[in-house]
Amino acid sequence: MIKKEVEIKNRTGLHTRPAAMLVKLASKFKSDFFIEKNGVEINGKSIIGVMSLAAEQGSKLVLRFEGEDEEEAAKAIVALFESGFGELDGLKNEENKDGQGQSH
């Protein structure tokens, strides 16, 4: 069993698109995958379960992997969280448009 703590980085949180990305990726692995938030644990391969977490930006989640490919699953899924589900680049571009995040 592997446990990892992650933080939601993207501004909009774990909304429909990131939740679908997460479930799709998790379903590629044989290992069981669970997500815990504030003491509530859900099946990470269930879109309804993932959406029910209502995990907003800054939320801390504990990911639990158990099975024959748990190491590969943990690595791939943690990387997805770290990437902000592909939404961090958009955030940086918005900040640059507003003149924030630039050093003059």
Per-domain residue ranges for the chain? 2-97
* Per annotation, catalytic residue among 15, 43, 57, 72: 15
Judge whether residue 90 has pLDDT over 70: no
Q: Among 28, 21, 20, which residue's Cα sits nearest to residue 47?
A: 20
Per the DSSP assignment, residues forming a β-bridge with 5 are: 62
Domain 2-97 class, CATH top level: alpha beta
Cβ atoms of 74 and 44 closer than 8 Å: no
Is residue 15 part of the annotated active site? The answer reads yes
Q: Among 76, 96, 74, 95, which residue's Cα sits nearest to residue 85?
A: 76
pLDDT band at 19 (very low <50, low <70, confident <90, very high): very high
Lowest pLDDT segment from 31-40, 42-51, 88-97: 88-97
Q: What is the reported pLDDT for 88?
A: 82
Judge whether residue 23 has pLDDT over 80: yes
pTM for the model:
0.83
